[in-house]
């Protein structure tokens, strides 16, 4: 969501390559915004990547290529990625991940919650709130996005989503609920 997560990942992978450390990157096969054979930031910075759909695909390639550093973009989109990261940690491979931590309803991606538990370092890269310009840690799905509730991931970046701070995210969620007739998430306000 334009907070610099992928930019930071690319920077770390480029640095490892400059240091002549065997480096390999993976991109979710479903992340088709810029193609799947590169990790690509909104700024244009990129790094060659192997498109994968499952953690097992990551491990297969890692066993063949034997990297010392692995980068994974859009971790939350790759089924079984957490198990792959845990295995690579056990093998002594440094793993650098770029991911959203929550979906557009404000719910933590389960695999990301597990990842945070074993991470040696966590860097959150806030975007800029599309409404008030404060630091934004939430991904807000705009009302004009397709309404399929069962589809938790909708690839489309700026077409459907915008970064929001906590206050603007809550206000937007309330407005969507009111427009749909669902009522307030936080009650009527009277005690």
CATH number of 126-181: 3.30.60.20
Q: What angle do CA 171, 183, 113 make, to 5 degrees?
A: 60
Q: What angle do CA 20, 11, 34 make, to 5 degrees?
A: 115
Which residues, at least 6 apart from 58, have a Cβ–Cβ distance to it below 8 Å?
A: 26, 52, 70, 72, 78, 81, 84, 88
Q: What angle do CA 187, 171, 131 make, to 5 degrees?
A: 175
Q: What is the Cα 69 distance to its own chain's centre?
A: 19
**154 pLDDT more than 90:** no
Domains of the chain by residue range? 1-124, 126-181
The domain covering 1-124 belongs, at the CATH homologous superfamily level, to P-loop containing nucleotide triphosphate hydrolases (3.40.50.300)
pLDDT score of 98: 93
Environment class of 11 (CB within 10 Å of its CB; exposed 0-12, middle 13-18, buried 19+): middle
Query: pTM of the predicted model, to two decimals?
Result: 0.81
Closest CA to 73 of 99, 55, 46: 99
**148 pLDDT more than 70:** no
pLDDT score of 69: 98
Residue 61's pLDDT band (cuts 50, 70, 90): very high
Query: Tens digit of pLDDT for each residue in 158-174?
Result: 577 899 999 999 999 99
Which residues share a beta bridge with 28?
Answer: 52
What are the residue numbers of the active site? 74
Which residues share a beta bridge with 54?
Answer: 79
pLDDT score of 177: 87
């Amino acid at each position: 969501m334009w907070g610099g997560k992928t930019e930071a990942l690319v920077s770390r992978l480029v640095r490892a390559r400059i240091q002549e450390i065997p480096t390999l990157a993976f991109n979710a096969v479903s992340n088709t915004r810029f193609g799947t054979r590169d990790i690509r930031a909104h700024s244009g910075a990129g790094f060659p990547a192997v498109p994968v759909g499952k953690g097992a695909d990551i491990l297969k390639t890692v066993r063949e290529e034997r990297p010392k550093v692995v980068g994974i973009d859009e971790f939350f989109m790759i089924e079984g990625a957490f198990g792959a990261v845990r295995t690579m940690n056990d093998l002594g491979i440094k793993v650098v991940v770029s991911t959203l931590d929550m979906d557009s309803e404000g719910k933590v991606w389960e695999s990301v919650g597990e990842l945070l538990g074993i991470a040696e370092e966590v860097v959150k890269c806030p975007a800029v709130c599309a409404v008030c310009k404060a630091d934004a840690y939430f991904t807000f799905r705009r009302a004009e996005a397709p309404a399929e509730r069962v589809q938790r991931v909708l690839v489309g970046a700026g077409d459907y989503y915008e970064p929001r701070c906590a206050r603007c995210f809550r206000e937007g969620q309330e407005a969507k609920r009111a427009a749909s007739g669902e009522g307030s998430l936080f009650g009527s306000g009277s005690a």
